[in-house]
Structure 1
Amino acid sequence: MDRVVRLASQKAVVIFSTNSCCMCHAIKAFFHDQGVNYAAYELDEDPQESDMERALARLLGRSPPVPAVFIGAKLVGSTDKVMSLHLSGKLTPMLQEAGAKWL
């Protein structure tokens, strides 16, 4: 859990992902298309993959635990939560408040 929290606080926008997850690809493409600079941590490339997946599953309350999006070191959730914030007009202010950088 400590590693997830530490990684999530290293940038304004952090996405925990796997290379084989289509929703992970979609959320990374969304942030890229919005011009938001983010950090992505690919769990399937990490030697501690199972520990990270368990920690994220506990935080999210679901499995599979990806994609998991953190903004300003706070867990936002998965693709549906991010899109809900975007559609309601709350995502951009949240990104600005977290100090997100645009490409």
Structure 2
Amino acid sequence: MEPAHRALLREHRLYLSGQLLVSDSIVPLLFQEEILTETQVDQILSQPSERLKALELLTLLPARGPRAFKAFIRSLEDHSWVRERLEAELQEVDGTRGAGRDT
């Protein structure tokens, strides 16, 4: 995962943990895409609340390789407002980085 993606997830950790219901569609899609292992899925789903499940996912996700962030964004189909917010923030970061470049 790129440093900007890690930073974005870290910056919005509390917001994401309060918005996402990870058990229904997010975790299954990330398992299907081979981002999460079966052990990690069990680790996430064993948490007693949705908030703690989301926090566990957000702890594991940054270390899951270069495809993890894009797969996570795709998994937010049922949480479009969250996906749109993350994509907008990422564009702002990319725009700020690109502003100083010669084109």
Larger radius of gyration: 2
Per residue, is there more strand in 1 or in 2?
A: 1
- TM-score normalised according to structure 2 size: 0.27
Per residue, is there more helix in 1 or in 2?
A: 2
- TM-score normalised according to structure 1 size: 0.27
